[in-house]
Amino acid sequence: MADEGTSRKSKRRRRSRRYNPDGTMTLIEHIYEFRRRLGYALLAILAGGVFGFIWFAVKLGPIPSLGDIITGPYCALPDDLRVEFDGRGCTLLQTQPFEAFMIQLKVGIVAGMVLVAPLWLYQFWAFIAPGLYSKERKYAMTFVGFASLLFAAGAYLAFFLIPGALALLVGFGGDEFATALAGDKYISFVLSLLIIFGVSFELPLLIVMLNQVGVLKYAQLKKWRRGIIFALFVFAAFATPGNDPFSMLALAGALTLLSEVAIQVSRFHDRRLDKKRGTEGWDQLDDDEAAPFEYTPSSIDEPEPVPAERTKRGRSKTDDIT
């Protein structure tokens, strides 16, 4: 058993960047590493889900419970638009057995995934990072950081708009209708709106990424600007749940503003690239002449120095002879 534990430890050590700086692994080692990282990520998500499940019904000091946060937009509706049962105030309907437990579990898992996102995202990052150069890792971390901020901004905007969207959607009936929302339908509406807004805010980042790798140029984006704006409004009309014009216009307006920012970023990138091409003389080259590119690959991180004792023990007889 001791030999088996030592063998596993030595295998993990050989897969680490310190002892294996080029990050090379066999196919089986890749599968084992992916399984290990996936297991850690699932454990982090499970821990976050347990915390979110408990938080759903418990206040954390000055922070309200997750259930109060989620039902806040519904409870913000005027009293004459909501149905109250037995003087219990603002409550959602449970239309099926076990429905309340499943809602609490679903909301808790989603909230837990958001709270522990750095933990499980790090596991996937640690899996792919050994195969990247330092420059590639720097760009990847930049895009991941911006993607996280954009998703959070989109979700926050959606949560800010939900009370107005609900008031608009349930107010068409006038005095002839009162709203008693089923818990499952309401929670699905809120979560879908948060996810749609968060994912939609990644579209401008996609434009910047395609421009950085040379797929989209600023000249093309400038020519397609009107078409892009029209496509964003059409996308917002189909993407927003409930099809209310309030959420649709808010999503389309935010995406239009972010897309314009992405187009301007592409403009500065292409201008800098054109200036570099002119300085290095790329435009004056003939079609059959090689461009003066730098063919030396970027170096990986320098490995950590090996301890002197380990170096002494690891020397071969050939080294001693030399």
- What is the mean pLDDT, run by run of 10 residues, along the chain of 322 residues? 55 51 69 89 90 87 84 76 67 80 87 82 78 70 81 86 77 65 81 86 88 84 90 87 75 91 89 75 60 54 48 45 44
Res 261: pLDDT: 92
Q: First and final CA of the chain: distance in angstroms?
A: 39
- β-bridge partners, 60: 63
Res 166: pLDDT: 78
Residue 21, classed as helix, strand or coil, is coil
Return the structure tokens found at 244. 């209310």
Give the integer Cα–Cα distance in Å for 165 and 168: 5
Tell me the CB-side half-sphere exposure of residue 58, using CA atoms within 13 A: 8
Res 311: pLDDT: 45
For residue 242, what are the contacts with CB-CB under 8 A and spacing of at least 6?
165, 169, 189
Res 280: pLDDT: 62
Nearest alpha-carbon partner for 256 in 234, 290, 233: 233
Query: Could you tell me the CA-to-CA distances from 265 to 96, 203, 259, 271 in Å, in that order?
Result: 51, 14, 10, 10
Tell me the CB-side half-sphere exposure of residue 90, using CA atoms within 13 A: 15
Give the integer Cα–Cα distance in Å for 105 and 265: 42
Res 312: pLDDT: 45
Res 286: pLDDT: 61
Res 8: pLDDT: 58
pTM: 0.69
